[in-house]
Structure 1
């Protein structure tokens, strides 16, 4: 998942990415694996497709396009028209708005042929709501190579109620959301490392005192504050893998008991800290209206809260800044299969052709390279040792435009100008890695769907102001939040999800 944005969704985004990513196209790792020769019993043989009618595929991706994206897309369409008698139109859901715009798109009935899908876009709950088309049979005919790439474990993680609703990217890694900061500023301030939230606070404080023209944190309206960083640093895991979910398990607790983050020890002190930080202007007072997700890379902010891909992209674009990445989570996990993937909405007008296009993106390097790296000779070149050399980062930065949904370990190229300590950071993440006993748990929200919706609304209304220090008395604000969450049905949710989790663990001993 590469999310070149200042996006740390309230509560769960960083948690989910830390299941993690680093995603969102998370960060690449030398632990990456892919299986292009799976013995998946669900594979089939391609059949001749009727492509006599020319169609335009409607695809939605997350983020914003490169300056030269239309130029690159024109090259894709030249090939696609020849190969499939089709063209593709790419639409974008911006980072600042995707939390609201993405579900509205799926509910709108707009004919969408392909869309990026992930745990952090609520893939599982959307699938159960009927938002996506089951593709296991269609894929046997129109994307057999892609179907064969899916490992048995990845298939299980993507399957919902016995159906395959997406093609997961086969790029697995250890992911973590971390602190992306300017090394030149750290040296200027005499700071050596950022090992925890308090260290990050020292960096923000130094920015306020020494470089007041910069936004210290670089957060935007959809960031949601540092709550997920707090939870991850304490070893908490978002067991429901949905936006705005405060329901956690502690990875240090073998009893696997689900709890409400807002009723946990330490959360009150965290909110008091956020009140202090807000009063010290560690983030903009207009943060709730700020949608500029490129503040850091454009030199307007001193930090970014994101993953290794964002770090790598910023380092490549600004080597003079000595951009550094400091992991945050107590534990890391191999990213889930649906950390990144592509789905076909139920409203698709051309599902067969969409699958054929996705097959090309996943198995034909010429298509993959175009939408991942740009035009060879203009935006990149491949070196003698098979690495990627970016030629025009302003025109088209490698892996910067939601190509994570079809990211391939076979086609991936390591940039020659990656941060020099990238392997060291990857080792740090690998050293923190746990086997995730909950990786295959996909909860059924139907019994508590009304309560989940109500809790979602409460979190957005009452937790966000606490995260930005807007509440004069954070202790009272927390009490109000807990009361509202309980009234919304949190106890019922915990009871139902605990029942499902216990059954899952018993069946998977």
Structure 2
């Protein structure tokens, strides 16, 4: 089903971890030198982003915004927040309280908060983090259609209608798109020094198995691959590599083949592709390419090893986008080389891979949407959040290009893709100039999944989805780190998956897809 031809696999280098989180981009101030916006339009530095232009008529409010990040990279967050609030207060008479949570704790914390009905306003959500579809099912997110039309016209117009359609559940939008690359190919990233040391010929790499000669030659004092149990797994994070597309959350049972125009839903864990992949991982584990405790490794441990100079050789399932090498250089001061192994394709879950939702418990949803309009159209505000304060955390070196402070930088989140329209970002190196235009062109020309625009409603199979997902969570680390022998463990996993109600989930997905096809 796979043929030659983007969230991270868990075999990732510290460099590739950044790629997998879709990497960082740029920053700036209120300069009038602005890059092109998402649809060829120009980002404005002082937009009228709401119907209410008289700020004096708006009562002052404080908005809270939760998102994942690396907390140690945001020591100066209160300084940045104070500068942001000068702009926000003037524009919409509001202030923002930024609430970053460590990556490893984010999902659990948000599950607890939304389950308890805690009051807050904004949260990062996606199919792979703080699960978007589960949030909609639990009624933790507000529908945004009317709010977008009334309070965020620039944001609404910037994102193509087909991408907005990808967010819809029961016909409604529940997540505001952070506009960026949506046509993401997947592949691998290698630190350049290792590529040179081991004479890696990327022209000869068409699939992950092609790396075996280089893995066999590895002679460092630490394993070349790492699996992170608290990150995205290396199978469900990259369906396009396997010529498949997911339906609903990536890890839920029931995918389609991109090459099947009938869109027949099947159990991806019963596929030849999954079987071959876990067998490859086990083969590599037995060969010593993973640490012996691979299934227990955390991102914190892996990152500590990287800082100590014990980097990994390659990443699996890294999202490969234009300019990713330069972004990684700017973010980590390391040179990498990359190779896409799948074509650039727009799928529903890639189109909605990074969104901001408004909590159902928000006391100020209108003002929250005004803020989303502002962060997506006010370049100065967006770049302040993305990279900090000019002169303290970065300096401008030329038009649209900045240079980050390297030593003791108290604010370097590296996640501008999480905060708004990434095409409003400054470049972080001269080498990146032109990347936004290249990315926009890739978005325009990419092929699309036959399922683009279809949104699965999980309501009728919520119990079965929860049960089957629990089974997957039980087995995924052992199988996908290579620790478990798939000859024994895979049949056991599949048996429990079937007993959990997986077939009912697949049948419901098929039923909804067939109805969607017939209605088109």
**TM-score for the superposition, normalised by structure 1:** 0.81
> Matches of 2:378 and 2:459 in 1, distance apart?
39
The equivalent residue for 1:220 is 228
The equivalent residue for 2:29 is none
The equivalent residue for 2:493 is 481
The equivalent residue for 1:169 is 178
Shift of 1:139: 4.0
Shift of 1:311: 4.8
> Matches of 1:233 and 1:459 in 2, distance apart?
20
- Relative distance call for 1:318 and 1:160 in structure 2 (3 A) is closer
| Structure ranking higher on relative contact order (CA contacts 8 Å, 6+ apart) | 2
Structure 2 counterparts to residues 391-406 of structure 1, below 5 A: 391-392=405-406, 395=409, 400-401=414-415, 403-406=417-420
The equivalent residue for 2:353 is 339
> Which sections of structure 2, spanning at least 5 residues, go unmatched?
1-6, 12-18, 27-34, 43-48
- Relative distance call for 1:202 and 1:372 in structure 2 (3 A) is farther
Secondary structure in 2 matching 1:116: strand
Structure 2 counterparts to residues 90-489 of structure 1, below 5 A: 90-121=98-129, 122-193=131-202, 194-207=205-218, 210-213=219-222, 216-223=224-231, 225-228=233-236, 231-238=239-246, 240-287=247-294, 288-292=296-300, 294=303, 298=307, 299-302=309-312, 303-305=314-316, 306-308=318-320, 311-317=325-331, 321-330=334-343, 332-333=345-346, 336-392=350-406, 395=409, 400-401=414-415, 403-409=417-423, 411-418=424-431, 433-471=446-484, 473-489=485-501
> Matches of 1:247 and 1:337 in 2, distance apart?
19
Shift of 1:44: 8.3
Residue-by-residue CA offset, 1:455-494 (whole Å, 9 max, x unaligned): 10010112321112222x3212111111111111111111
Structure 2 counterparts to residues 34-45 of structure 1, below 5 A: 34=39, 45=51
> Matches of 1:450 and 1:382 in 2, distance apart?
53
1:170–1:407 contact (8 Å) kept in structure 2? yes
- Relative distance call for 1:94 and 1:246 in structure 2 (3 A) is farther
2:236–2:250 contact (8 Å) kept in structure 1? no
Residue-by-residue CA offset, 1:314-344 (whole Å, 9 max, x unaligned): 322555x531122233553277542222111
Shift of 1:165: 1.9
> Matches of 2:179 and 2:443 in 1, distance apart?
18
Mean CA deviation greater in 397-406 or 484-493: 397-406
- Relative distance call for 1:420 and 1:212 in structure 2 (3 A) is farther
Among candidates 496, 504, 507, match of residue 495 of structure 1:
507
1:8–1:222 contact (8 Å) kept in structure 2? no
Residue-by-residue CA offset, 1:397-444 (whole Å, 9 max, x unaligned): 7771355241243x2333325479979x97997899422221101011
- Relative distance call for 1:412 and 1:433 in structure 2 (3 A) is same
> Matches of 1:25 and 1:119 in 2, distance apart?
18
1:333–1:435 contact (8 Å) kept in structure 2? yes
Q: Does 1:507 align with 2:519?
A: yes
The equivalent residue for 2:15 is none
> Matches of 1:257 and 1:222 in 2, distance apart?
31
- Relative distance call for 1:175 and 1:256 in structure 2 (3 A) is same
2:254–2:509 contact (8 Å) kept in structure 1? no
> Matches of 1:498 and 1:415 in 2, distance apart?
45
- Relative distance call for 1:149 and 1:266 in structure 2 (3 A) is closer
- Relative distance call for 1:414 and 1:86 in structure 2 (3 A) is same
Mean CA deviation greater in 133-142 or 371-380: 133-142
1:297–1:314 contact (8 Å) kept in structure 2? no
Residue-by-residue CA offset, 1:188-207 (whole Å, 9 max, x unaligned): 11222243211344444444
Shift of 1:50: 7.4
> Matches of 1:354 and 1:322 in 2, distance apart?
39
> Matches of 2:50 and 2:393 in 1, distance apart?
37
Shift of 1:149: 3.6
1:330–1:432 contact (8 Å) kept in structure 2? no
Secondary structure in 1 matching 2:447: coil
> Matches of 1:25 and 1:117 in 2, distance apart?
17
> Matches of 2:361 and 2:143 in 1, distance apart?
12
1:218–1:301 contact (8 Å) kept in structure 2? no
Residue-by-residue CA offset, 1:255-274 (whole Å, 9 max, x unaligned): 21111122112433332221
> Which sections of structure 1, spanning at least 5 residues, go unmatched?
1-5, 11-20, 38-42
